[in-house]
Amino acid sequence: MPSDLSTPSDLQQVVGWTPSHADSLYHLASWGDGYFGVNGEGHVAVRPVRGADTSIDLFDVVRDLRERGIGFPALIRFQDILKSRVQHLNEAFIEAIEKSGYGATYQGVYPIKVNQLREVLEEILAAGEPYGHGLECGSKSELVATLPYLADRDVLLLCNGSKDREMVRLMLAGQRLGKRVFPILERSDEIGLLEGEARGLGVEAEIGVRVRLTTRGAGLWSESGGEHSKFGLSLTEIIELVDSIRAGQLPVRLRLVHFHLGSQIADLGTLTQAVEEATRVYAWLRARGIDVDYLDVGGGLGVAYEAGNQRALSAINYELADYAQAVVSTVKRVCDEEGAPHPTLVSESGRAVTAHHSVLVVQAVGNRRKVARRVEALPEEAHHILRELFSLQGQLDAATGPSTPQDLDRLLTHARELRSEMAGAFRRGTLSVEDKALFEQLYWAFGMEIDRRAQVADPMQRTRALDALASELVDHYHCNFSVFRSMVDYWAIGQRFPIVPIHRLDEPPTRRGILVDLTCDSDGKVDKFVSETGDKRHLELHDVRPDEPYYLGLFLMGAYQDIMGDMHNLFGRVTEVHVFADENEPGSYYIEEILTGATVEEQLALVQYHANDLDRRMGDLIRQQVSAGRLRPNEGVKLLNEYRRMFRSMTYLATETDRVSTNVQ
């Protein structure tokens, strides 16, 4: 198995490499959920339709886009995957309901916060129509966007999040239009708002309530649940609410009980506990004569980002079908124990619906690696620090047998001391520029040899210094994208995403690299990767060839990443491409739509720089130079036109020559 080969030189020695080696090296089977694999040509293949043979070559799509003049990064959306996810979710609940003899149905809602793009919402609603799949909104804008989409009267629109008076009024207007728009009480002070508006309109408001559970999740999103979570009513508040309803003091009808444990629920044990807790509350309400008929288990259905590493903070230990089964059987058991009717089940699964459908394709525009050099001898007059390093290399070469990590650590520590001595000597002016450069080359050659030996030594005995050396030796792949714009959860909460070269997978990767983005921020890099062990700090990559673009796919990007990204360095929205599977088309797909990314002008306008004003200022600068005779008028016009053209440029690098550079540091 090539994944445990460690140094670039080891990787080069892999013999008998086939695309299936790449499949396992990049763990496509673990996180791809059947949608992604590697084809015989060594390209990533997308199988967007569950259970069907249709296979789209992702590299074909990329070549197609290049021929159409589309630059990268580009977010490629596979609309059929969205459809497939909605079907999969609903079918899993239907199956669990049948299997358990559950006495009611499932009616999911899509929380649009996960990905608000209109095409995403429309695709989900279209795929969900046979199942009555509805929507969830969490803000004023989301409410305004979703309400007009409620075609069917039975489809739900659940309104979570903080509310103001005009939002409540619109929710109640939705009810007057005959739609199932349920404001969900998140805090007890919202009751007054609801009461006031319902009385004003002379209607009985149908509402839901979010219960604050004791159970809380684990991992990166655990703060959404538990007793101290931001939202939800405590049991004391719920008792007060029920007393007021029963006393006829509130013009509301409570129809839904809701909880949300947090995104990416790690294990079914926690989910089951939360469902038990919420179902007890539901049954208690029924026993008090409150005819609640929906139980909403919130979001949190997880996505396997992590290649089977169970220790990762975002790891999950179940499949979608297990989740549905756990919800259905737990609600049934508790209701049967309590003698309560089975409620209609609702889940607000977002991540699990959208994550798989989009892939961000980025181009590596350069590769920076350490330059290492060995020399046979040093000149007589060489600086003593250089001679000492040379002698350390000699000691290492003389040790022919396996070296212990402690031996290697000792040699490395010595070399590092020499390195800081060398830096001091350079600052004091006693070491020349040439000698410093030579020292660095010798040092990296020495480091690579230490690392090669350390990688084959017992990993349990590897020292921190040896690990640090391994990280220093990786190549930096400069990629045409912004971590802050496109992969914000990686930067903000350390969420790892699967990354795979989308072509050349029929060749063994020969380098170890990390990705660095275009922003001028040192955080703008990706140096943690999904793996079985969770501690992977590099990715196996191919040598970038001059004049041949090298593309990487950043997978499972469809949930939250598109929408939460920020404008660091004013990098804008990336180009989006909507791909549909079609067996009758060459390559089994067609591109339905291309939405070009934000231009420089659009991005600047967001921070109040306007093209007219900038144009005028630039014109003034040029005119001054022309008047002073430092620039010919013709040159001035050309310069201004070039500047103006930039307004229409994408915010990312234009790589029309597809040239990549490899440089050494």
Shortest Å distance, C-beta 561 to ligand PLP? 12
Residue among 85 and 528 whose Cβ is closer to ligand PLP: 85
For the CB of residue 530, give the shortest distance to ligand PLP in the complex, in Å.
Answer: 18
Query: In terms of CB distance, is 260 or 356 closer to ligand PLP?
Result: 260
Q: Which residue is nearest to ligand PLP (CB)?
A: 299
**Tokens representing 314?**
């975002």
**Residue owning tokens 């919420």:** 278
Smallest gap, in angstroms, from Cβ of residue 168 to ligand PLP?
Answer: 18
Contact 32, 551 (CB under 8 A): no
Is there a contact between 62 and 337 (Cβ–Cβ < 8 Å)? Answer: no
Contacts of residue 40, Cβ cutoff 8 Å, sequence gap at least 6: 19, 506
In sequence order, what are the residues at sequence separation of 6 or more whose Cβ sits closer than 8 angstroms to the Cβ of residue 245? 252, 254, 290
The string of DSSP codes covering 187-234 is: STTHHHHHHHHHHHHT-PEEEEEEB--S----STTGGGSSTT-SS-B-
Residue that is written with structure tokens 């999040």 in the block: 161
Nearest-approach distance from CB 273 to ligand PLP, in angstroms: 17
Considering beta carbons, is residue 49 or 301 the nearer one to ligand PLP?
301
Q: How far is the CB of 211 from ligand PLP (least distance, A)?
A: 12
* Residue among 160 and 222 whose Cβ is closer to ligand PLP: 160
Neighbours of 168 (CB within 10 A): 24
Displacement of CA 153 from its chain's centroid (Å): 34
Pick 107 or 264: Cβ nearer ligand PLP: 264
Rounded CA separation 27/6 (Å): 17
Whichever of 554 and 559 has its CB closer to ligand PLP, that residue is: 559
> 350 or 447, CB closer to ligand PLP?
350
Q: Which residue number, 275 or 469, has a Cβ lying nearer to ligand PLP?
A: 275
Instruction: State in angstroms the smallest separation of the CB of 628 from ligand PLP.
Output: 60
Nearer to ligand PLP among residue 134 and residue 549 (C-beta): 134
Distances (CA, A) of 70 to 76, 594, 650, 656: 12, 9, 10, 9
Residue nearer to ligand PLP on the CB measure, 298 or 549: 298
Minimum Å distance from CB 157 to ligand PLP?
13
Query: Quick one: 272 exposed, middle or buried, by C-beta within 10 A (0-12, 13-18, 19+)?
Result: middle
Work out how close the CB of 289 gets to ligand PLP at its nearest, in angstroms, rounded to a whole number: 28
Decide: 495 and 314 in contact? Cβ < 8 Å: yes
d(CA 296, CA 232): 13
Whether the Cβ atoms of residue 172 and residue 149 lie closer than 8 Å to each other: no
- Judged by the rule CB under 6 A, the positions of this chain that interact with ligand PLP are 111, 114, 136, 160, 224, 260, 263-264, 298-301, 348-352, 559
Q: Shortest approach of ligand PLP to residue 153 CB, angstroms?
A: 23
Handedness of CA 290, 292, 293, 297 (dihedral sign): negative
Q: Which H or E element spans position 556? A: none
Q: In the complex, what is the shortest distance from the CB of residue 204 to ligand PLP, in angstroms, rounded to a whole number?
A: 25
Sign of CA pseudo-dihedral 277, 279, 284, 285: positive
